[in-house]
Structure 1
Amino acid sequence: MSKPEREFFPATGIDFTVCPGGDPKITERILARDPETGVATRILRYAPGADSSPMGVQKHDFWEEVYILEGSFVDLTLGETFNAGMYACRPPGMPHGPWRTDEGVVTFEVRYRI
């Protein structure tokens, strides 16, 4: 199986839901998902004050590309702030996070397997 085939549609019609981990300040709008592999395209939103420290450093078994649309957040491991207009491409197994944001952040993410 793969992500569904969809022509242009209003993405704002898809609700944000709380991400795995259960923090109501960290939500996602899933635009497309492969139900078999779990890879997805999504909008990720951290509300002001969100902190993913309880989830620890993240590592995935898939590729992840992230573009920051709005705001900024701090990678607490690296001690670096990343802002709107910045981009990351993470191969499987690359550690990242945890994250904290004072102002909030919105990212566009594409996850896939090769």
Structure 2
Amino acid sequence: MAKSEREFSSVTAVGWTSVPGSACPGLDERVLASDGPIATRILRFAAGTDTSPNGVQVHDFWEEVYILTGSITDLRLEQTFTEGDYACRPPGMPHGPWRSPDGCTTFEVRYRDSRSR
């Protein structure tokens, strides 16, 4: 199934839900469009969220992330990223775990590259 067609609408029409499979409280998502793990979403880290229980993340799809507000610290890299920072991760790239002392909201797009199938 492909992502559903959708014309402009308020993202607030989509509610926040806990991230499935996450062992971390305070990690919520607003899924705007999806096709399994391939999704466009807004991800929200509540103040104090620590994703260490989820470990380092690695997946088989591309992921682009733009930080809208706040900051997150990659505990593995010991580096903090803030509002306006952007990441583009190819399949297999390790990232996280994350900590967000003051909270963070990101915009994320996940997709597969048809050339790498």
TM-score range, shorter chain: over 0.9
Deviation at 1:32, TM superposition (A): 0.1
Q: Paired residue for 1:24?
A: 25
Q: Paired residue for 2:90?
A: 91
Q: Paired residue for 1:14?
A: 14
Count of aligned positions = 112
- Write the distance in 1 (CA, Å) between the matches of 2:23 and 2:78: 24
RMSD after superposition: 0.9
Q: Paired residue for 1:61?
A: 60
**Retained in 1: the 8 A contact 2:18–2:28?**
yes
SS in 1 for 2:56: coil
- Write the distance in 1 (CA, Å) between the matches of 2:16 and 2:45: 11
- Write the distance in 2 (CA, Å) between the matches of 1:80 and 1:19: 23
Match for 2:3: what amino acid?
A: K
Segments of 5+ residues of structure 1 without an aligned counterpart are: none
Segments of 5+ residues of structure 2 without an aligned counterpart are: none
- Write the distance in 1 (CA, Å) between the matches of 2:41 and 2:96: 18
After TM superposition, the score normalised by the length of structure 2 is 0.93
Q: Residue by residue, what CA displacement relative to the aligned partner does 1:86-110 show, whole Å, maximum 9, x if unpaired?
A: 0000000000000001110000000
Deviating runs (4+, > 2 A) in structure 1? none
Match for 1:11: what amino acid?
A: V
Deviates more, 1:17-26 or 1:54-63: 17-26
After TM superposition, the score normalised by the length of structure 1 is 0.95
- Write the distance in 2 (CA, Å) between the matches of 1:15 and 1:23: 19
Match for 1:42: what amino acid?
A: R
Q: Residue by residue, what CA displacement relative to the aligned partner does 1:19-66 show, whole Å, maximum 9, x if unpaired?
A: 12143300000000014xx20000000000000000000001000000
- Write the distance in 1 (CA, Å) between the matches of 2:84 and 2:10: 23
- Write the distance in 1 (CA, Å) between the matches of 2:10 and 2:106: 17
